[in-house]
Structure 1
């Protein structure tokens, strides 16, 4: 079977490539490392919520049973469509199937990074990765939380504790933290103190140089520069995001991963394809998510 059909506008990514792409995307995204993806149909998805937890009642033998006062609400996970468009010489259409499969692997390799970073940037900050600008029409994203800690001390671990304290004090769970490399470096460089001040001993020697932190103070941790939004966008100043990653984020992939073959026109503003003897391959994905923003707190740079 030919990979690039002469008439088909879209080809499905071979399953072994697509599965590997999703797997690798999950390992690159801080959101995916801390919060499990779930099956999600296309379009807006409603989730039922309790406005108050129902309470059990002990009933004596022969006693009357009472109802537990509670209320129901609903939140909606909305679809967010992303795409990556790559250009190749149109000679790939003349090549054999093995070569065309290699081209799809190139698309997958480039796409998995773009799609995983796009999930973080959109869900954390509502940033459009290609332009670096904020999508003002989106109102549901993690850093919209009002629980914020401004870095005010030289001790990054104190700021981390303060952020956790904002959630614990509000009876929220803390089961994950996404941290920026700058924050990881600050934690790794903290020195242990004694009665006369700082010593030469590292406070958290298990962090090494802070290059691959997976756990801090018993909290599962994922490290990545999407926490601060760079390099796609100007630094947001966010250095750490802590909170309920298991239940505070509901997200999934709502569509398969077809590759669209574009042979005509100027699909990405880089010039006419026919004139340049090129074809474009476009990979699209639809994420859906809802964030309970009150279940998260951020540590951010002190505003000058």
Structure 2
């Protein structure tokens, strides 16, 4: 039986391809590497937040209990739909089932990269990956944080320490458990050398575990993930953000709210590239709905001088 039937408008992505896409999305996204995905229902998901840490009270036998200090509120994650639309010659409908499955596999390979990067670009910078423009209607994103360190010296690790200090040296600290690093900053870290007694470079790599900085997994005891989505490139103009550090474990709450159906489109102009019938084409559209909420005050960013 053909994968692309003659009447269906929806075809299900084979489970092995869909599962692989989700796995690769976790691998390719710096957010997904540092922050665990959680189950979410479709629509807004509410999270309870404490305005202050509640304090326990020791109560003597027979004594009255006082009201516990601290209040709570709530925030809501919002759904964000991302889509990938790809065109193929309509003759693919008449090809063998194996060939049609290979087309779906190609769509999955391309989609997993696009959707993983979309998660980072949206949650970090509120960037629309296709156009590179900022989605001004979104007000919840990581780099909205007011905690920022501008690169001022050649010692990249000093900038990282300063960014961590902005988070730890405050009355309420949520801790630091992850850092997302742009390749430019990763290279700066890996290129650092220890110093001789006179202050001159020793020629010995300061952080030998970083190698050339091409696949950093930890730095100074913090889990790390590297990716150019930190700077927003190449989809958008360079944001000048070189690293984002903070509470990735609880400061970003995200999940995938919908399954991964593929829509088979035979008619019309679904992506502004011309009429399908006129061009002897069909289109396959893959959509995923993310949901996330970001506690921006739990992050600090390292930025290049403008």
TM-score under structure 1 normalisation? 0.98
Number of residue equivalences: 303
- CA–CA separation in structure 2 for the residues paired with 1:172 and 1:56: 19
Counterpart in 2 of 1:191? 193
- 1:263 maps to which residue? 266
Instruction: Please show how residues 1-304 of structure 1 align to structure 2 within 5 Å.
Output: 1-170=1-170, 171-197=173-199, 198-303=201-306
CA displacement, residues 51-105 of structure 1 (integer Å, 9 cap, x when unaligned):
1122111111222222202212010101111100001111111112211111110
Residue 194 of structure 1 and its aligned partner are, at CA, apart by: 2.1
Aligned partners of 2:264, 2:101: CA distance in 1, in Å?
14
Give the C-alpha shift of residue 43 in structure 1: 0.8
Q: Describe the SS at the equivalent of 1:246.
A: helix
Q: CA separation in 2, counterparts of 1:74 and 1:149?
A: 30
1:53 match: secondary structure: coil
Shift of 1:2: 3.4
What CA distance in whole angstroms lies between the structure 2 residues aligned with 1:72 and 1:161?
31
Inter-partner Cα distance in structure 2 for 1:99 and 1:195: 66
TM-score of the two chains, using structure 2 as the length reference? 0.97
In structure 2, runs of 5+ residues without a counterpart are none
What SS is found at the alignment partner of 2:47? strand
User: Match of 1:299, SS?
Assistant: strand
Q: Distance in 1 between matches of 2:70 and 2:187?
A: 46
Task: For residue 5 of structure 1, report the CA deviation from its aligned partner.
Answer: 2.2
- Greater mean deviation of Cα atoms: 229-238 or 164-173: 164-173
C-alpha separation in 1, matches of 2:219 and 2:154: 18
Choose 69-78 or 59-68, whichever is displaced more.
59-68
- Equivalent residue of 1:186, what SS? helix
Deviations 1:27-70 (A, max 9, x none): 00000000000000111111111111221111112222222022
Runs of 4+ in structure 1 off by over 6 angstroms are none
C-alpha separation between the residues in 1 aligned to 2:72 and 2:279? 58
Shift of 1:269: 1.5
CA drift of 1:255 comes to: 0.6
Larger CA deviation: 197-206 vs 106-115: 197-206
Q: Secondary structure at the match of 2:98?
A: helix
Looking at structure 2, the residues matched to 279 and 132 of structure 1 have their Cα atoms a distance apart, in angstroms, of: 26
CA-to-partner distance for each residue in 1:86-140, whole Å, 9 max, x for gaps? 0111111111221111111000000000000000000000000000000011000
Aligned residue for 2:112, secondary structure, equals helix
Aligned equivalents of 1:14 and 1:66: distance in 2? 58
Tell which deviates more after alignment, 68-77 or 133-142: 68-77
